[in-house]
Structure 1
Amino acid sequence: MQLEIITKDDLKQFKNELLNDIKDIVKPQEKAQQWLKSAEVRKLLNISPGTLQNLRINGTLRFTKIGGMMYYKLEDINRLLEGGNQ
């Protein structure tokens, strides 16, 4: 068994490839759907309900609540993926 060392550059490259793949998945939905429900956001980001709640509570991810449903702007999710939360 050979030991492989992963460098910071390897991780950065992987991150960029992953972000591009996620953007490609989200892009076709962009025109048809500007708002996503919580379940869609959790699936897209591969996070738990608790993690999504923490993103809401600490202001990392803005949301709109209508009735009992939470909605998230696709552009805010893209901004979060790109590393900014303004």
Structure 2
Amino acid sequence: MKGVDLTDRQDEWSDWIDAQDVCTNMHISQRTLQTWRIEGLLPFSRIKGKLYYRKSDIFLLLKENYNGDLRRGDYESEDDEKGGMNASEM
């Protein structure tokens, strides 16, 4: 097999991050990351049991779930998600 020159693809290498770094940077648990994999929310690559993710896929996930306009009524507090009272019930 011919050697592959990877020097021209440095930008592609810098796009990959391992699972530990994903959890650290996003402040999530390994279990949450596993759930995202199972649900197909975040693509990944597995090499001999070690998981890698593209930073660009993580940023895309964040962008797709971004709620920049809180006036639309899409915002739910953590209490709302847990079945707590929302502002209209107070």
Scaled by the length of structure 1, the TM-score of the pair is: 0.58
Q: Which has the larger radius of gyration?
A: 2
Moved over 6 A (4+): none
Cα distance, 1:33 vs. partner?
1.4
Equivalences for residues 47-66 of structure 1 within 5 A: 47-66=28-47
CA distance in 1, matches of 2:23, 2:61: 13
CA distance in 2, matches of 1:69, 1:82: 26
CA distance in 2, matches of 1:37, 1:54: 16
Higher relative contact order (CA 8 A, sep 6+): 1
CA distance in 1, matches of 2:25, 2:63: 14
Cα distance, 1:66 vs. partner?
0.6
Cα distance, 1:54 vs. partner?
0.1
**Which one has a larger percent helix, Structure 1 or Structure 2?**
1
Give the gaps of 5 or more residues in structure 1: 1-29
| Equivalent residues, number | 55
Q: Does 1:36 align with 2:17?
A: yes
Scaled by the length of structure 2, the TM-score of the pair is: 0.56
Cα distance, 1:83 vs. partner?
2.2
Q: Does 1:70 align with 2:51?
A: yes
